[in-house]
Amino acid sequence: MKFSLKPTPAFVRDMTDGHSVLGLAVSTLLYIVCVSGTLAVFYNEFERWEQASELENLEVSPSAYQLATEQAVALAKEEKEEFDSIKFTIPNTDMPRLTVEVGDIERYVAADGSLLGKVEHEWTHFLAYLHFALNLPLGLGVPLVGLIGVLMAALILSGLLAHPKIIKDAFSFRLTGSKRLQQVDLHNRLGVWASPFHLAIAITGAFIGLSQVAAFAIAGLFFDGDTERVEHILYREHPIMEENAPEMPLPDFAEILAQMERIAPNEERTKLEVAFPGREGQVVEIWTRVPEKLVWGERYHFNPDGSLIEKEGWSEGDAAKQVYLSTFRLHFGHFSGFPVKIAYFLLGIGMCVLVVSGINIWLVRKRQRGQPAKRLERVWMAQVWGIPFAIALSAVTYLAFAVPAAQVFWGTTVVLSVVAAFAGTVAGWSMLLRGATIAACVLAVIVHTSIFGADSFVHASLVANAVWLLIAAGIAASCLYTWVRRRDGAFASSVGSAVGSR
Amino acid sequence: MGKLPFLRFTIRWEPKSPSVIFMPSSFYIVAGLASIFTFAGIASLYSAWLRSGPQPLRSWLGWGLLLLSAFGWSAVVGVEYGVSIATLLVMIGALSLLAIKGDWPSGPPRQEKKRTGSPAPSEALLQLWLRGTLRFLAIALLPTASGLLAGLLYFGFASSGESARLVGGAFVSVIVWTLAMVWCSADRKLLRPSAGLLIFSLASGLVLMPTAA
């Protein structure tokens, strides 16, 4: 019997059918996760964009932490806010703003340590929440998005297996062919060449999303339901404060930061947390970013007098911890700075196109078989352009009127889908919503500029506004291209009919 | 070395601000060479795969250059960043080449061909929906159970440290889950993957039961 690794036509057909089943099962949700994830690459920039005029300063003296801690504790007591720790964002290149968080209170901090205005990143948090939980309750949304990650990995695998001429067709891009061939080539080329990115995103996404489910399962089976026991396999246990612990002076921030400078001069500090500030048993944790490592960071624990308790060791030693903690930066594209973010953004757009072209292939095939799903085609088109439109609109309405972004997004998406089910044409919805998305993106920049003035075009705001404008420009270019082709088509048919009538 | 601050994008003129930090010139030379290797590698693969007949020299040269690029990036920014950046460059480079070389249509859109076929009768449609629903349920439930149980088996019985078993178990879970989904969605005989995954799940459950705390 002859053994061959070449897939049989039946195998390819089965894989293609399976690929279609999986793709159709999650189409809209997968598309929402992809679009929101593509924008969320610029999460830090959007957070700074929302409050564009806040102070940015990388140099903070240790005394600022001292004063900010005192003021934050006083504020928390005044507002009867319960807390057992104080968290600072140490200004770093991703977020060059000093902030303090105590309980649910979050404030910016001036260079001298006095508290400034509230930290408000509602729209960015909506965007991230949409991406990782579809705005559902966390316990339901995060595993659901994790499941979408698994489905995505299965889609990539079945897509690659359904592709017998993967090498031969690697550079074949026949856009002048039929609509179906165009979509197939677009789908296959994007799918194959960007598959390492897609797989990395899908697997890390599934891993992040389902880790809580896995922790519950392991805790339930092996540790009597104690999920903290599972958590402490990867993370050090937090200290527990004794009730009515006596008060004592705040930690010596100057000594702790000086120690950090001696221990890890090349690591960028990102967070500082004081557990039980001003009480006996208080400890200080400092998070850093480690050069050349994908791990989320490293954590150092200090006594209040500045002596090091221990380095957690995420960036060295235990390979399993390193792998686990590397999934986040790999998924978010937050390593190596801005060019990698641009690459993730572009490949993210490619992923959105991949999802859209996949469903388009199925719709075209149905049409060619004489079973067009006209209503479904309209709904799908309304979602393809309606979802980016709804996201951009939510930014405009939040900036201008502080309307909750999740309500605007889901309301717009549902209304457009329902209306498209009963009215309009595919081409009409496409052009209308492309125009609306362009308008919403431009409007986001206009509203931002009207609020923040010159601050709209410096630092992270420049990046965020450039993202909106580039999206608008890209969609405008696609509209122009469609319009030119339609005009040529109308011209050709009028010439044809004129010649025919002679 | 290590950080890639030169890649950080900030525009600011005040002294106390995130600023562009310059890297040593050797960094730019090696990184530049590595990028050139990437694009040369893609071009070599392009010329090999577009020609008819096997082109082993061009193919191997292409793969070799891509490998060299990964080594180059790893030398200046470490292996973890280096491999990631080199892979991103290959993807962006190949897709850019496709966009440049693709034969973009300029004329009016082509009329779609219609294949012969008549709408399926309602009974067939009903059957199709029933099968589809069954398959969807199978895809949703059985791979989930198999994936989670495979992860638990790994955590319970692999002979390594606790953290390695935990992280390894999570990866095993995601991989088995994915493979089971592909099997459930692609096998024409739905009964086959359903039975296979059900047996696996039940057997795993039986094995895990005594270990339950």
SS (H, E, C) A18-46: HHHHHHHHHHHHHHHHHHHHHHHCCHHHH
Cα–Cα distance, A148 to A467 (Å, whole number): 26
Considering only the C-alpha atoms of chain A, give the largest distance between any 2 of them, rounded to a whole number of Å.
102
Question: Which of these, A170, A262, A327, A118, lies nearest to B84 by C-alpha position?
Answer: A327
Collapsing DSSP to helix, strand or coil, A346 comes out as helix
Q: How confident is the model at residue B7 (pLDDT cuts 50, 70, 90)?
A: very low
Q: How confident is the model at residue A371 (pLDDT cuts 50, 70, 90)?
A: confident
Contacts of B18 in chain A (CB under 8 A): 56, 58, 93, 96
Question: Which of these, A297, A139, A284, A282, lies nearest to A216 by C-alpha position?
Answer: A139
Query: Mean pLDDT over all residues of chain B?
Result: 82
* Angle, helix A227-234 to helix B162-186, in steps of 10 degrees: 110
The residues that bridge with A89 in the sheet, in sequence order, are A99, A271
Q: CA of A221: which chain B residue's CA is closest?
A: B212
Is pLDDT at B127 greater than 70 in this prediction?
Answer: yes
CB-based contact, A93 to chain B, within 8 Å? yes
CB-based contact, B97 to chain A, within 8 Å? yes
Q: Which residues contact B30 (CB under 8 A, 6 or more apart)?
A: B72, B75, B76
Mean pLDDT computed over B101-125 = 68
Is pLDDT at A20 greater than 50 in this prediction?
Answer: yes
Query: Mean pLDDT over all residues of chain A?
Result: 89
Residue B116 has a pLDDT of 59
Cα–Cα distance, A398 to A451 (Å, whole number): 12
Of A3-7, A143-147, A190-194, A320-324, which range is least confident? A3-7
Which one-letter amino acid corresponds to residue B46?
A: Y
Within 13 Å, how many C-alpha atoms sit on residue A348's CB side? Answer: 23
Mean pLDDT computed over B45-72 = 91
Cα–Cα distance, B180 to A383 (Å, whole number): 30
Cα–Cα distance, A32 to A40 (Å, whole number): 12
Of B7, B144, B152, the CB nearest to A336: B7
A326/B7 Cβ within 8 A: no
A266/B84 Cβ within 8 A: no
Q: How confident is the model at residue B17 (pLDDT cuts 50, 70, 90)?
A: very low
Mean pLDDT computed over A46-51 = 95
A175/B103 Cβ within 8 A: yes
B135/A176 Cβ within 8 A: no
Mean pLDDT computed over A396-414 = 97
pLDDT of A105-158, one tens digit each? Answer: 999 999 889 999 999 999 999 999 999 999 999 999 999 999 999 999 999 998
Joined tokens for residue B112: 């779609």
Q: How confident is the model at residue B75 (pLDDT cuts 50, 70, 90)?
A: very high
Mean pLDDT computed over A416-444 = 96
Residue A99 has a pLDDT of 95
DSSP A162: T
Is pLDDT at B21 greater than 60 in this prediction?
Answer: no
Q: What are phi and psi of A281, to 5 degrees?
A: 95, 0
CB-based contact, B24 to chain A, within 8 Å? no
**Greater model confidence, A400 or B22:** A400
Distance from CA of B112 to the nearest CA of A (A): 6
ipTM of the complex in this document: 0.85
Distance from CA of A82 to the nearest CA of B (A): 33
B77/A22 Cβ within 8 A: no
- Residues B42/B53, Cβ–Cβ less than 8 Å: no
A176/B103 Cβ within 8 A: yes
Of A25, A234, A493, the CB nearest to B163: A234
A485/B107 Cβ within 8 A: yes
Residue A402 has a pLDDT of 94
CA A406 to chain CA centroid, nearest Å: 15
Residue B13 has a pLDDT of 36
Sheet holding A105-109, edge to edge: A115-118, A105-109, A99-102, A85-89, A268-275, A283-289, A298-302, A308-311
Residue B6 has a pLDDT of 38
Which one-letter amino acid corresponds to residue B172?
A: V
Within 13 Å, how many C-alpha atoms sit on residue A418's CB side? Answer: 6
Distance from CA of A111 to the nearest CA of B (A): 11
State the CB neighbour count (10 A cutoff) for residue A431. Answer: 17
Q: How confident is the model at residue B155 (pLDDT cuts 50, 70, 90)?
A: very high
pLDDT of A478-501, one tens digit each? Answer: 999 888 877 776 666 666 666 555
Contacts of A493 in chain B (CB under 8 A): 108
Burial bucket for residue B163 (CB in 10 Å: 0-12, 13-18, 19+): middle
Residue B14 has a pLDDT of 41
Distance from CA of B49 to the nearest CA of A (A): 6
Cα–Cα distance, A387 to A377 (Å, whole number): 15
Q: Which residues contact A284 (CB under 8 A, 6 or more apart)?
A: A251, A253, A256, A272, A273, A274, A275, A301, A302, A303, A304
Report the run of H or E that residue A126 belongs to, with start and end.
helix A122-133
Is pLDDT at B123 greater than 70 in this prediction?
Answer: yes
CA A394 to chain CA centroid, nearest Å: 16
Of B18, B97, B101, the CB nearest to A96: B18
Of A21-30, A190-199, A457-466, B125-134, which range is least confident? B125-134
Mean pLDDT computed over A10-36 = 87
Of B108, B120, B156, the CB nearest to A485: B108
Residue A499 has a pLDDT of 56
Ramachandran area for residue A411 (φ above 0: left; ψ -120 to 50: alpha; else beta): alpha
CB-based contact, B13 to chain A, within 8 Å? no
Q: How confident is the model at residue A241 (pLDDT cuts 50, 70, 90)?
A: low
Q: CA of B184: which chain A residue's CA is closest?
A: A18
Alpha carbon separation from A218 to A204, A212, A232, B141, B157 (Å, rounded): 19, 10, 13, 19, 12
User: Domain residues of chain B, as ranges?
Assistant: 5-100, 133-211
The residues that bridge with A298 in the sheet, in sequence order, are A288
A214/B139 Cβ within 8 A: no
Cα–Cα distance, A437 to A475 (Å, whole number): 8
Cα–Cα distance, A35 to A390 (Å, whole number): 11
DSSP A456: G
Q: How confident is the model at residue A294 (pLDDT cuts 50, 70, 90)?
A: very high
CB-based contact, B158 to chain A, within 8 Å? no
CB-based contact, A474 to chain B, within 8 Å? no
Size of interface A-B (CB pairs under 8 A): 270
CB-based contact, B124 to chain A, within 8 Å? no
Of A170, A340, A350, the CB nearest to B49: A170
Q: CA of A179: which chain B residue's CA is closest?
A: B112
Cα–Cα distance, B176 to B145 (Å, whole number): 10
Of A214, A344, A491, the CB nearest to B170: A214
Mean pLDDT computed over A304-318 = 88
Residues 45-74 of A with CB under 8 A from B: 56-59
Joined tokens for residue A307: 């002596």
